[in-house]
Structure 1
Amino acid sequence: MALFYVQGVPVGYTAIMLAMIASMGGFIFGYDTGQISDILLMDDFLLRFAQCGTPGDLATCHFSRVREGLIVALLSIGTLIGALCGAPTADFLGRRRAMQVESLIFCVGVIVQITSKSEWAQLAVGRLIAGLGVGGLSAAVPMYQAETAPPQIRGAMTATYQLFITLGILVAYSISIVTRNMSGAGSWRTVIGLGFIWPAILSVGIQFMPESPRWLASRGHLEKAQLALAATRGIDASEAENNYALRREVEEIASHVQYEQSVRGGWLDCFRVENKTLYRTLLGMALQSLQQLTGANYFFYYGATIFSSVGISDSFVTQIILGAVNFVCTFGGLYVMEKFGRRIPLIIGGIWQSAWLFVFATAGTVKDPSTHKGIGDLLIISACMFIWGFATTWAPGIWILIGETFPTRTRAKQGALATASNWLWNFLLAFFTPFIVGDIQYRYGYIFASCNLFASVFVFLFLYESSNLSLEAVDMMYNDPNCKPWNSRTWAPPGYRNRKDLVKQTGTVEAHRGLEEAHTEKADRRSSATGSATYNEDERPAIAAGQREKVR
């Protein structure tokens, strides 16, 4: 039974649960990202892993730039490798099993970290291992959500991955502010050890969700693919075979899979010029790189250190404020990406983020924030305004696009390459930020501001608008020589005048089908009461099909 309708198309309870459970992969990512910023400032953590002039004297303990950079950034090296390995894993095991395996790997990394006593290298290696799991999940989850979601809510469903990243960051900040006053290693081991909970929820919950219908179709399981689609659309399994819209979608997927199986789908195929495959590989890699170059992780990784240095009495509280802004505003991102598509939010978001980074950099450069309270307040406000823009545009938008831009035959591999690009820049920024900030301090913001402006121009010139299209139609759009990025918003498959006409007709057909089913149920009740049927079961599909043709 449908939970609700979007543009006349039914959405089932399973679709919502699927988005929430799979997005625990994003929560794991966010939690691991958020925890390190505060852990670096905890007393016991400093005494154990930092360099101390006098052993046991906290006042003499500090992290060198190299050690701090490696502890923070080795997670990103693991995620880069994990993202690349995630593609063949997801193709071989299926999307769900791949997520379960990657959750287990993350747990191994947590064990290595919490058993560390005084060797910072062991802690860093533990973050590297955990990163393998996080990277694999970052490739598998958005792909699974995009392949399973109804096109009308694909943006919102895939964006829940980013929403859960922000929730994970906020939860990590909140737990850290509670445990920081615990005595001994419990202050930081509790934060890290709670990381076992999130992969457990994902591994158990995903077992009850349907597999990706497109992965099932690629393995020849069309009946299972149809049932998976029926579950997310809120259609009873017994009615799936007689549902016109569902059969049409399965046939479209099967036809596309059959075509793609006639050509190779290896790693080298990601770089073939034909069918704009190379174009989309480079596009995905560029978008993921630019998401990192917006500068968001500058605040999430080193926010506590940044605001501590400007004289703010409790930088932990400031981190919670930034994390809360990030989480709450991401809800707006779910709406923005469905209402306004992909291109316009990313273009406007890049400009907005650039403006506030210019304010941040200028405020911190003109006067010393540690001696001017007003400047310190302006830094926090500009950081919050930047995160507001990021959380509603570039944060969810890029993960949505990675799930829906690539063709089925190479989607896992292209998604892995794109995600690996994100993690490569993540590592570079995490490792080199302490060195760069040490030399140019707040002027670092000017670099990120320029990158945001470049990102807006890049989106305008190269990104196609893929909202409200099936994944198969997105592939057709990229291969239409008459379609350009700047006019792609109106493109529609053959048989429709434009994108609005596509949305309207799809909704009309589905709404009309709902009326037909209601009429049929009434007819059944009348026939049961009178002992005669108006028409038999075999005739209904034919009559319904004729009525749909009139609608079209």
Structure 2
Amino acid sequence: MALFHVQGVPVGYVAVMLALIASMGGFIFGYDTGQISDILLMDDFLLRFAQCETPGDVSTCQFSTVREGLIVALLSIGTLVGALCGAPTADFLGRRLAMQIECLIFSVGVIIQITSTTSWAQLAVGRLISGLGVGALSAAVPMYQAETAPPQIRGAMTATYQLFITLGILVAYCISIGTRHIPGAGSWRTVIGIGFIWPAVLAVGIQFMPESPRWLAAHGHIAKAERAIAVTRGLSASAAANDYIIKREVEEIRQSVEYEKTVRSGWIDCFRPNHKILYRTLLGMSLQSLQQLTGANYFFYYGATIFQSVGIADSFVTQIILGGVNFGCTFGGLYVMERFGRRGPLILGGIWQSAWLFVFASAGTAQNPSQHEGIGDLMIVSACLFILGFATTWAPGIWILIGETFPTATRAKQGALATASNWLWNFLLAFFTPFITRDIGFRYGYIFASCNLLGAVVVYLFLYESSGISLEMVDQMYNDPTCKPWTSSTWAPAGYENRKDLQAQIRAAEMNKPLTAKDVEDTRVETHSNGSGTYHGEETEAEKRI
């Protein structure tokens, strides 16, 4: 039975559970990202792994720039390798089994970390191995969600991955503030050890979810693919057999798979210019790189240290405030990405984020924030407003696009390349940030502000609007020579006047009734009034039914 309807199309409870369970991969990512910022300041952790002038006196202990950078950043090297390995693994084993194996790899890394005693290198290697699992999951989960979600809620479902990243960061902050006064190694080992829970939930829960229908179809299981689609729609097998929407989606997938059998799908094929494959590979890599260059992880990795330097008495509390803003605003991101598409929010988000980073950097540069309480407060407010913009636009939006921009044949590999770009910049920023901030201080914010403006320009000039249409239609759109990125929001396949016409026809077909003459006229009026849209010079399906 359908749980609810979107645009007249049924959505089952399995689709919702699928989004939540698969997004535990994002929770693992967020938890591992959030925990290290506070752990670096815990007394026992400093005594064991930092360099102390007087043994046993924590006030004389501090990390060298290189050691701190490696402890934080080696996770990102693991995730980079994991993202690249995750693509062939997901293609060979299937999306679900691949995720289960990746959860096991992450858990091995946790074991290595919590058994560390005085060797910071062992701890860093544990983070490296955990990173392999996190990176592979970051490639597999958004792809699985995009391939399995009904198109009408694909944006919100894929955005739950980012929502769970923010939840993981917030939970890590809260657990850290609760364990920091535990005597001995329990303060930091508890935070890391709790990390066993999250991969267990994902590994067990994903077993009860359907496999990706596109992966099933690509491996010759068309009937199973149809059942997987029916389950996410909340329909029985008998009802699905006569359902127009499901039959059309299955046929689209079947035709796409048949076509892609004639298309090479190796790594090198991700860089071939035909069918805009190279274009989309470079676009995905650029967007993932620019997501890192927004500067968000500057706050998430080093937030406690940053706010300690601006004179905040308890930087742990400030981290929780930032984490709460990040998590709460991501709910808004789910709505924004479904309601307003992908391009507009990303462009406006880049401009908004840039503005507040300019404020942050200017305030910290103009006066010493540790000596001027008002400056410190302004920097915290500007950081929160930056996070608000990031959480509602660039944070969920980029992960959505990675799942829906590429064709099926090379989707896993292109998604892996894009995600690996994210992790490469993640590593570079995590490792070099201590060196950079030591030399230029809060002026670092100017660099991130400029990168946010660059991101807005890249989205305007190169990204196509992919909301509200199937993955197969997205591929058609990128290959339509008459469609440009700035006109793509109204594009629709041949037989439809524009995207609203397409969605209206789908809704009418699902409700088993034709569009009225008024529906068609309303669509025409809107199309001609804004001067855009795709006109195919032929009678549409809606007109034929009237």
TM-score normalized by structure 1? 0.93
2:478 is the counterpart of 1:478: yes
1:513 positional shift: 6.5
> What is the rounded CA distance, in whole Å, between the counterparts of 1:316 and 1:370 in structure 2?
16
Superposed counterparts of 1:1-12, under 5 Å:
1-12=1-12
2:276 is the counterpart of 1:276: yes
Superposed counterparts of 1:195-344, under 5 Å:
195-344=195-344
1:551 positional shift: 4.8
- CA pair 342-284 structure 1, distance change in 2 beyond 3 A: same
Report the counterpart of residue 537 of structure 1 in structure 2: none
Secondary structure of the corresponding residue to residue 3 of structure 1:
strand
1:462-520 deviations in Å (ceiling 9; x for gaps): 000000010000000000000110100110011110011111111121123799xxxxx
- CA pair 10-550 structure 1, distance change in 2 beyond 3 A: farther
CA contact (8 A) 2:244 2:509 kept: no
CA contact (8 A) 2:514 2:545 kept: no
1:137-176 deviations in Å (ceiling 9; x for gaps): 0000000000000111000000000000000000000000
1:438 positional shift: 0.4
Report the counterpart of residue 49 of structure 1 in structure 2: 49
One-letter identity of the residue aligned with 2:273: V
1:359 positional shift: 0.2
2:442 is the counterpart of 1:442: yes
- CA pair 513-75 structure 1, distance change in 2 beyond 3 A: farther
Structure 1 segments (4+ residues) deviating >6 Å:
547-550
CA contact (8 A) 1:508 1:551 kept: no
Report the counterpart of residue 525 of structure 2 in structure 1: none
> What is the rounded CA distance, in whole Å, between the counterparts of 2:135 and 2:295 in structure 1?
20
1:548 positional shift: 9.4
Report the counterpart of residue 72 of structure 1 in structure 2: 72
1:3-56 deviations in Å (ceiling 9; x for gaps): 001111111000000000000000000000000000000000000000001111
> What is the rounded CA distance, in whole Å, between the counterparts of 1:306 and 1:173 in structure 2?
15
CA contact (8 A) 1:512 1:548 kept: no
Secondary structure of the corresponding residue to residue 220 of structure 1:
coil
> What is the rounded CA distance, in whole Å, between the counterparts of 2:438 and 2:417 in structure 1?
32
One-letter identity of the residue aligned with 2:191: V
TM-score normalized by structure 2? 0.94
CA contact (8 A) 2:179 2:190 kept: yes
Larger Rg: 1
Secondary structure of the corresponding residue to residue 262 of structure 1:
coil
Superposed counterparts of 1:93-108, under 5 Å:
93-108=93-108
Superposed counterparts of 1:135-150, under 5 Å:
135-150=135-150
How many residues end up aligned between the 2 structures? Answer: 521
Secondary structure of the corresponding residue to residue 100 of structure 1:
helix
Report the counterpart of residue 416 of structure 2 in structure 1: 416
CA contact (8 A) 2:54 2:60 kept: yes
1:343-376 deviations in Å (ceiling 9; x for gaps): 0000000000000000000000000100111111
CA contact (8 A) 2:47 2:56 kept: yes
> What is the rounded CA distance, in whole Å, between the counterparts of 1:233 and 1:129 in structure 2?
38
Report the counterpart of residue 507 of structure 1 in structure 2: 507
Percent of counterpart pairs with the same letter?
A: 79
Secondary structure of the corresponding residue to residue 203 of structure 2:
helix
CA contact (8 A) 1:74 1:127 kept: yes
> What is the rounded CA distance, in whole Å, between the counterparts of 2:116 and 2:98 in structure 1?
28
Report the counterpart of residue 365 of structure 2 in structure 1: 365
Secondary structure of the corresponding residue to residue 512 of structure 1:
coil
One-letter identity of the residue aligned with 2:472: E
> What is the rounded CA distance, in whole Å, between the counterparts of 1:548 and 1:202 in structure 2?
43
One-letter identity of the residue aligned with 1:61: C
> What is the rounded CA distance, in whole Å, between the counterparts of 1:253 and 1:159 in structure 2?
23
- CA pair 513-195 structure 1, distance change in 2 beyond 3 A: farther
CA contact (8 A) 1:28 1:198 kept: yes
Supply the RMSD in Å over aligned alpha carbons.
Answer: 1.3
Q: Which stretch of structure 1 is more off in the superposition, 181-190 or 233-242?
A: 233-242
1:550 positional shift: 6.6
One-letter identity of the residue aligned with 1:411: R
Report the counterpart of residue 164 of structure 1 in structure 2: 164
> What is the rounded CA distance, in whole Å, between the counterparts of 1:335 and 1:549 in structure 2?
32
> What is the rounded CA distance, in whole Å, between the counterparts of 2:9 and 2:247 in structure 1?
14
Unaligned runs of 5+ in 2: 516-540
1:379-406 deviations in Å (ceiling 9; x for gaps): 1000000000000000000000000000
